[in-house]
């Protein structure tokens, strides 16, 4: 996720006076003071630096009097001292107080100047405090399963469907055909868009292809076209399901005026060796072997993903703690962006996404909280179990990602560095290793597969 930026704790040459005030869970106010002598020492050191480099009229470089350099570069020297002292004092305060800071501080300057102590306040967020739960022996269930001959034939038929040809025929619509139709739809006697403004595609279409199958388009729509010929008109009544994709239409009735434009018959290719060669297989038997291997791998992946998900969920359920607000907010933005991008790729309209923005945000917020909590837990487990990510593993993952995006590794690394994305790669790899460790130490029970609903 790359969401957690911790403050540096470099050893400094001075100590600071610090008071800490708790503002909220994971949120603190640091009041920091550095004595005046240290401030003056910093000014003096910076002045010497400027004097060594200053080139004032009438003097050779580095030979101008100190007081003239101080006057000429007063503002610059003060700015440089401030830029050095405040970060140094802040890091030292964090180190002395042993604070695990996330994100970046919000610093308010209170007092700064030559001959004065430096005083500032820093509002920070810290990592959550919680007792580490028992993370070994988490229970999970792995469903037994194997790929059957029926599964293989279903997959082969899906490949067959992809190579379907469509032939226009001068006959009535039959089950399994495609009906090309024009339609307009209403609900409660009004255009559907009056009820669902974003549902223009459900209100009117021209030359719309409908697979004549029970579950195609709107349940019950296609069945009422059976027996119609090109040029026929029919009134089709439907009941929008309770879980219909458009919320405003759930449970309502719709009426469609439909004109059949064409009837198309599906022509499936023959299942033979030539068909198999189209998918790079030697013959039909080799194609079946390849499909079975693919289904086996897919089944194992689903089983593994399920176990991993159960183990992480079991771990999260064992810890209740407050989380840093800014980290959750940032991760929520990331999740919302991913959800919206995925919906757009699936062809969902901007209007539909906007209509569901509250549901998207609520779902993203819950997901973000789990991710942030998991990130802190994984970090603790990695420290306790000495789980490390090596540099060559990071480079290998970067090369894989670069290949996926069809970019050179060098260019991809530059893109990562622009958004400080390398730590995100490290964190992803560390999380994967921690989950591997949790699964290896989990109590996994083999169970019979759940019955599929009829």
Express as a percent the part of the chain with pLDDT over 90.
Answer: 77
Look at residue 3 and tell me whether its pLDDT is greater than 80: no
The CATH number for 231's domain is 3.10.50.40
* Residue 263 and residue 187 in one domain: yes
For residue 119, is pLDDT > 60?
Answer: yes
Same domain, residue pair 57 and 111: yes
pLDDT at 41 over 80: yes
Rounded to an integer, the average pLDDT of 50-60 is: 85
190 is a domain residue: yes
Q: Which residue has the higher pLDDT, 257 or 68?
A: 257
What is the rounded distance in angstroms from the CA atom of residue 241 to the CA atom of residue 218? Answer: 8
The residue among 383 and 354 whose pLDDT is bigger is 383
The H or E element spanning position 96 is: helix 74-97
Comparing 5 with 164, the larger pLDDT belongs to 164
pLDDT digits (tens, 9 = 90+) for 395-442: 999 999 999 989 998 999 998 888 888 899 999 999 999 999 999 999
Indicate if 247 and 175 belong to the same structural domain: yes
Per-residue pLDDT at 283 exceeds 60: yes
CA angle 217-222-227, nearest 5°?
Answer: 165
Q: What would the mean pLDDT of 306-324 be, rounded to a whole number? A: 96
Choose one of 248, 267, 286: the last residue of a domain.
267
Helix axis angle, 284-316 to 357-385, nearest 10°: 80
pLDDT given for residue 433 in this prediction: 97
Which of 250, 267, 284 delimits the end of a domain?
Answer: 267
Over residues 378-388, mean pLDDT: 96
Q: What's the pLDDT at 176?
A: 92
Q: Give the chain's mean pLDDT.
A: 91
CA–CA separation, 229 vs 233, rounded Å?
9
- The residue segments making up the domain with residue 179 are 165-267
For residue 451, what pLDDT band results from cuts at 50, 70 and 90?
A: low
Question: Which of these ranges, 265-269, 348-352, 430-434, has the smallest mean pLDDT?
Answer: 348-352
DSSP 14: S
Q: Give 135-194 pLDDT, tens digit per residue.
A: 999 999 999 999 999 999 999 999 999 999 999 999 999 999 999 999 999 999 999 999
Does 85 map to a domain?
Answer: yes
> Residue 173, SS3?
coil
For the chain, what is the domain count? Answer: 2
Do 36 and 98 belong to one domain? Answer: yes
**Claim to verify: residue 169 and residue 122 sit in the same structural domain:** no
Q: What is the mean pLDDT of residues 197-209?
A: 92
Percent of the chain with pLDDT over 70: 96
> Does 453 score more than 60 pLDDT?
no
Averaged pLDDT, 79-100: 95
Positive or negative, the CA dihedral 86, 92, 94, 100 is positive
- Domain CATH number, residue 92: 3.30.70.1050
Over range 73-92, report the average pLDDT. Answer: 94
Q: According to the model, what pLDDT value does residue 452 have?
A: 61
Residue 195 has pLDDT above 50, yes or no: yes
How far is residue 416's CA from residue 428's CA, in Å, rounded to a whole number? 14
Look at residue 395 and tell me if it is in a domain: no
In the predicted structure, residue 353 carries a pLDDT above the cut 50: yes
Could you say which DSSP state residue 129 is in?
A: P
181/247 same-domain check: yes
Q: Are residues 102 and 24 part of one domain?
A: yes
Does any domain span residue 325? no
Q: Is residue 118 a part of any domain in this protein?
A: yes
Q: Kindly state the average pLDDT of the residues 380-393.
A: 96
50 assigned to some structural domain: yes
Tokens of 199: 């549902």
- CA gap 64, 61 in Å, rounded: 7
Among 78, 99, 126, the domain boundary falls at 126
Question: Per the domain annotation, does 103 fall within a domain?
Answer: yes
Judge whether residue 282 has pLDDT over 90: yes
pTM of full prediction above 0.75: yes
> Is the residue at 40 inside a domain?
yes
For residue 11, pLDDT over 70 is answered with: no
Q: Pairing mode, if any, of strands 233-239 and 443-447?
A: unpaired
pLDDT of residue 77: 94
For 204-216, the pLDDT digits (tens) are 999 999 999 988 8
Q: Are residues 182 and 262 in the same domain?
A: yes
Mutual angle of helices 409-418 and 422-440, in 10-degree steps = 100
Are both 173 and 112 inside the same structural domain?
no
């Amino acid at each position: 996720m790359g969401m957690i930026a911790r403050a540096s704790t470099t050893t400094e040459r001075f100590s600071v006076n610090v008071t800490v005030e708790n503002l909220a869970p994971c949120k603190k106010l640091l009041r920091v003071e550095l004595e005046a002598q240290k401030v003056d020492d910093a000014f003096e050191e910076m002045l010497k630096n400027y004097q060594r480099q200053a080139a004032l009229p009438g003097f050779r470089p580095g030979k101008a009097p100190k007081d003239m350099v101080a006057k000429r570069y007063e503002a610059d020297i003060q700015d440089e001292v401030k830029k050095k002292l405040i970060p140094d004092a802040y890091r030292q305060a964090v180190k002395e107080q042993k604070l695990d800071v996330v994100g970046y501080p919000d610093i308010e300057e209170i007092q700064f100047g030559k001959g004065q102590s430096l005083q500032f306040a820093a509002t920070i967020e810290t990592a959550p405090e919680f007792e580490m739960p028992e993370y070994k022996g988490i229970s999970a269930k792995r469903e037994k399963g194997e790929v059957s001959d029926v599964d293989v034939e279903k997959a082969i038929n899906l490949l067959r469907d992809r190579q379907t040809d469509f032939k226009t025929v001068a006959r009535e619509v039959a089950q399994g055909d495609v009906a090309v139709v024009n339609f307009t739809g209403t609900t409660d006697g009004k255009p559907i868009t009056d009820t669902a403004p974003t549902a223009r595609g459900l209100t009117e279409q021209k030359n719309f292809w409908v697979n004549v199958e029970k579950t195609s388009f709107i349940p019950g729509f296609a069945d009422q076209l059976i027996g119609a010929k090109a040029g026929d008109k029919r009134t089709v009544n439907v009941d929008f399901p309770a879980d219909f994709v458009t919320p405003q239409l759930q449970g309502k009735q719709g009426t469609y005026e439909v004109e059949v434009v064409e009837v198309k018959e599906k022509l499936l290719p023959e299942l033979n060796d030539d068909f198999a060669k189209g998918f790079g297989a030697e013959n039909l038997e080799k194609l079946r072997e390849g499909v079975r291997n693919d289904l086996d791998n897919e089944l194992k992946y689903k089983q593994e993903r399920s176990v991993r998900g159960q183990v992480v969920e079991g771990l999260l359920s064992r810890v209740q703690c407050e989380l840093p607000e800014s980290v959750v907010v940032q991760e929520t933005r990331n999740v919302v962006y991913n959800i919206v991008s995925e919906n757009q790729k699936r062809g969902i309209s901007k209007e539909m996404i906007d209509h569901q923005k509250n549901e998207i945000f609520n779902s993203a917020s819950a997901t973000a909280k789990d991710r942030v909590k998991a990130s802190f837990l994984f970090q603790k487990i990695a420290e306790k179990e000495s789980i490390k990510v090596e540099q060559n593993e990071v480079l290998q993952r970067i090369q894989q990602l670069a290949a996926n995006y069809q970019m050179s590794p060098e260019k991809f690394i530059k893109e990562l560095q622009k958004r400080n994305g390398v730590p995100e790669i490290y964190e992803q790899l560390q999380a994967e290793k921690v989950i591997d460790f949790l699964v290896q130490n989990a109590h996994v029970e083999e169970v019979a597969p759940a019955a599929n609903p009829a």
